[in-house]
Amino acid sequence: MKRSWTGLVVALCAIGAVGGCNNYNNSVQYNTGATITNISPSGLAAGTPAGVTLPNCPNTPSGQTNPCFTLFVLGSSTNGFQTSTVVEWNGQKLSTTFVDAKDVNAQVPYSLIAKPGTAYVNTFTPQSGTGNNGLSNALTFIIYGAPNPFPSLSSISPTSLAVCTSKCANVAITLTGSNFLPASQTGASSVTYTGAATSGLETAITVTSVSSTQIQASIPGTYLSAADTASINVINPPSAVCLVNCPNLGGGDTNCKTPPVPTNCTASTQTFTITATAGGVTSAALAVAEESPAVSQDGRYVAFASVENNTSQILVRDTCLGVTSGCTANTQMVSAATDGTAGNGDSHNAVMTSDARYVAFSSAATNLVEGVPAGRQVYLRDTCIGAASCKPGMALVSTDEEGKLAGAEGILPSISTSGRFVAFLAVTPSQTANAESASATHADSTARPNSGLRQVFVRDTCLGAANCTPKTTRISLTPGDTPANSPKPAGPTLSGLAKQIALSEGKSATVFTPTVPVDDRVFLAIPNEQK
């Protein structure tokens, strides 16, 4: 019987040994030592530094080499160190010097960081009593791999392209150089683009392949919408992630600005040029240079003329001005058919509503809408900016169901705030002008906006109006040509609410006010001096 009780006691104690059967209940241990807040350095590159003289660890036998580095350990002001505190490295006690309750340092042999990885640093303070282990919390020490090399970029191909503003495809680009990284501990080399399309910010572009000497990347087609001189760089990442007290982990940018940068860095940034035209300056480009852009009321959107493939097009740029998040600057073509095809003739003189949704312009293109008359005409584009469930559309403005615009060309539009009303100048070419234009080039024809008789019309498009029929009303009382000494044609200017219109007659201007009602907000205007 006694043997049975003896066996039971042994068995219970055996179970207790596994489950913590003792006077100390040490199955769960809590650190009872100091609290450490920081270590410095928090990481080093693997291996022993070459080319420098390093101090030996304490107690190194004479004639032998055993280099160490000093690890500084900082403690909490409320739970600091005691004079007996020892620093441990992965549980191995190090030669430790007590400075004060908040500072101790230890000598760490470089042999402990021979390979990349991590180590855990804590302190131990001898304690007595039940459950007191004397251990502090542990902090991680990172052992980094070899520093990544600094890249060098010798050339890119292509180095330039012409401006593209309609359905622009991404452009493949080849970068040639040295020290590119197909892969590393922290990733491969990346390519950046810095230009107007990125608002001057260095922005990563897609990389499709990387070798040690060549990178294939892709420039987004949206970056090619305006003339620019951009920078192409290659970035190698550092060999590991480091936040404080970092060693030189290599990597860097070929513009010699992204740290860490070698002291002997030679910038190898390459230039990528987006040219206004494939050739030299054209007459279309010169005409564009004379035009003024249109700006939305808040300044965010800008409509302007730009040349693509020797043809002037109307573009709208969203600058993201005033938008704090969720906006990427972009450019869209306005002088395009609904399927996105660019206008096949020059477009000029863009005007826009205050909210930038509607843009009116004059264009010699024949593919913007079906069945357009010959010559320059005025169009109204719904960009759908700021509108939900909207499909961009194009409408011909310089049209008249009563035939008053037969044979005329529309130029120099002006638009009301809502976009409903568009005033424009209609030019009826004279016989001389027709004979000249028959033999003129396309560029010459755009340079003759003032040939023939001029009349001013206002088009009610009925945008936003119920039970409304679009109509065109002639505002100018007497057709006539611009005086011979007038340097350029004069177009009408429509007030925001379409209640006044100003006409320029040579060197003077006449302001018309509404007196004869035509519709709820459209009036046949009579000059002030004739009322």
pLDDT digits (tens, 9 = 90+) for 317-367: 999 998 888 899 999 999 998 888 899 888 998 999 999 999 999 998 999
- Residue percentage of the chain with pLDDT more than 90: 39
Q: Which residue has the higher pLDDT, 57 or 479?
A: 57
Asked if the model's pLDDT at residue 373 lies above 80, the reply is yes
Q: How confident is the model at residue 243 (pLDDT cuts 50, 70, 90)?
A: low
Domain spans of the chain, in order of start: 25-144, 152-275, 283-530
Q: Which residue has the higher pLDDT, 429 or 34?
A: 34
- Edge-to-edge strands of the sheet including 377-382? 347-352, 358-363, 377-382, 393-396
The whole-number pLDDT of residue 352 equals 93
Asked if the model's pLDDT at residue 450 lies above 60, the reply is no
Q: Which residue has the higher pLDDT, 217 or 250?
A: 217
The whole-number pLDDT of residue 515 equals 37
Tell me the residue type at 295. Answer: V
pLDDT in tens, 95-113: 999 999 999 999 999 999 9
C-alpha distances out from residue 87 to 4, 124, 144, 220, 382, Å: 50, 6, 21, 54, 72
- Mean per-residue pLDDT for 172-176? 95
Q: Which residue has the higher pLDDT, 64 or 17?
A: 64
Asked if the model's pLDDT at residue 21 lies above 70, the reply is no
Asked if the model's pLDDT at residue 276 lies above 90, the reply is no
C-alpha distances out from residue 366 to 342, 469, 502, Å: 11, 25, 30
Q: Which residue from 91, 80, 79 is spatially nearest to 122, judged by alpha carbons?
A: 91
Q: How confident is the model at residue 300 (pLDDT cuts 50, 70, 90)?
A: very high
Whole-number Å distance between alpha carbons of 111 and 119: 13
Q: Is 438 left (phi over 0), alpha (psi -120 to 50) or beta?
A: alpha
Evaluate whether 152-275 and 283-530 have a shared fold. Answer: no
Pick the CATH number of 283-530 from 2.120.10, 3.30.70, 2.60.120, 2.60.40: 2.120.10
Longest CA pairwise span in the chain (Å): 136
C-alpha distances out from residue 192 to 11, 50, 393, Å: 70, 34, 36
Q: Which residue from 405, 422, 402 is spatially nearest to 414, judged by alpha carbons?
A: 422
| CATH superfamily for domain 25-144 | Immunoglobulins (2.60.40.10)
Q: Please give the backbone phi and psi of residue 341, each rounded to the nearest 5 degrees, phi first.
A: -70, 130
The whole-number pLDDT of residue 143 equals 87
Asked if the model's pLDDT at residue 482 lies above 70, the reply is no
CATH of region 152-275: 2.60.40
The whole-number pLDDT of residue 357 equals 94
The whole-number pLDDT of residue 500 equals 57
Q: Which residue has the higher pLDDT, 464 or 368?
A: 368
HEC readout, 272-284: EEEECCCCCCCHH
- Mean per-residue pLDDT for 502-512? 46
Neighbouring CB atoms inside 10 A of 462's CB total 15
The whole-number pLDDT of residue 213 equals 95
Is residue 226 within 8 Å of residue 197, measured between CB atoms? yes
Q: How confident is the model at residue 207 (pLDDT cuts 50, 70, 90)?
A: very high
- Mean per-residue pLDDT for 446-454? 46
Q: How confident is the model at residue 275 (pLDDT cuts 50, 70, 90)?
A: confident
Buried b (16+ CB within 10 A) or exposed e, 80-115: bbeeebbbbbeeeebebeeeebeebbbbbbbebbee
The whole-number pLDDT of residue 50 equals 79
- Residue percentage of the chain with pLDDT more than 70: 73
C-alpha distances out from residue 330 to 130, 197, 227, 421, 531, Å: 69, 7, 14, 28, 49
- Mean per-residue pLDDT for 251-262? 75
Asked if the model's pLDDT at residue 419 lies above 80, the reply is yes
Q: Which residue from 105, 132, 135 is spatially nearest to 122, judged by alpha carbons?
A: 135
Q: Which residue from 244, 189, 186, 179 is spatially nearest to 216, judged by alpha carbons?
A: 189
The number of residues making up the chain comes to 531
The whole-number pLDDT of residue 247 equals 66
Spatial neighbors of 83 by CB under 8 A, at least 6 apart, are 98
The whole-number pLDDT of residue 44 equals 86
10 Å CB burial of residue 53 (0-12, 13-18, 19+) is exposed
Q: Which residue has the higher pLDDT, 370 or 15?
A: 370
The whole-number pLDDT of residue 256 equals 83
The whole-number pLDDT of residue 476 equals 67
Is residue 96 within 8 Å of residue 105, measured between CB atoms? yes
| Token pair for 311 | 């043809």
Asked if the model's pLDDT at residue 434 lies above 60, the reply is no
Q: Please give the backbone phi and psi of residue 65, each rounded to the nearest 5 degrees, phi first.
A: -115, 125
The whole-number pLDDT of residue 105 equals 95
Handedness of CA 148, 154, 156, 160 (dihedral sign): positive
- Mean per-residue pLDDT for 439-447? 33
The whole-number pLDDT of residue 345 equals 87
Q: How confident is the model at residue 142 (pLDDT cuts 50, 70, 90)?
A: confident
- Mean per-residue pLDDT for 211-238? 91
The whole-number pLDDT of residue 246 equals 64
The whole-number pLDDT of residue 396 equals 95
The whole-number pLDDT of residue 122 equals 96
Q: How confident is the model at residue 167 (pLDDT cuts 50, 70, 90)?
A: confident
pLDDT in tens, 33-84: 999 999 999 888 888 887 788 999 998 998 899 999 999 999 999 999 999 9
Buried b (16+ CB within 10 A) or exposed e, 402-430: eeebeebbbbbbbbbbbbbbbbbbbbbbe
The whole-number pLDDT of residue 79 equals 93
Mean pLDDT of the chain, nearest integer:
78
